[in-house]
Amino acid sequence: EKPAGMNVFTFPRGAQAGIFLHSLFEELDFSAARPEAVNSLVGKGLERYGYAREWEPCITSLVNNVIATPLSSPEGPFALTDLKQGCWLAELEFFFPLKFVSAPILRECLRRWSGTHVAMDIPALCQGLKFRPAEGMVRGFIDMVFEHKGRFYLLDWKSNHLGYRIEDYGSEALKAAMVQHLYPLQYLLYTVALNRYLGLRVKI
């Protein structure tokens, strides 16, 4: 059952809600994400997208929780609030040429090179891939790329609704949603794009 009240689980769903939440993180200055700055950003966003101002405490809490969540790294945990000004790019656009590819060719490539991916069984995921042979240019946008202590990370914002309880967002539920929407393949595509981008701009 849908719970009562205004909280992260009851916020309106749909494409516009996703675009609204995405815009908050696109515009946020992570290096200066003080409470008053987050409150102001959320308030303006709610007004721009036509949501009631009463949602402000809920969405502000959501943003603060996201940017304060510890992220693991070999150098130790960090949060997005630790990022320095100028070390991230939002909506990084990319293009790269795609030679002739078909579903069987892609499946075989991933089978050979995916290795023992700990988060997802990539070859199993690709068994159901079916698409017409394609070639041309690949174009897309990575939501965010950032650097922290000499390492580069890519980030993609997701706001999928999986249920009305915190328990509905456990690791197995998240993994199932990722498989359903083929997010691991999106991640691999973004990794190729980021690798090419850094190869042109970062001297080794």
Tokens of 158: 């997701």
- 143: annotated active-site residue: no
Specify the pairing of strand 151-155 against strand 134-148.
Answer: antiparallel
- DSSP code per residue over the chain: -PPSSSSTTTSPPSHHHHHHHHHHHHH--GGG--HHHHHHHHHHHHHHHT--GGGHHHHHHHHHHHHHS-B--TT--B-GGGPPTTSEEEEEEEEEEEEEE-HHHHHHHHHHH--S-SS--HHHHHTT-----EEEEEEEEEEEEEEETTEEEEE--------SSGGGGSHHHHHHHHHHTTHHHHHHHHHHHHHHHHHHH---
Tokens of 167: 């328990």
**Catalytic residue (one of 29, 82, 156, 168):** 156
Catalytic residues: 156
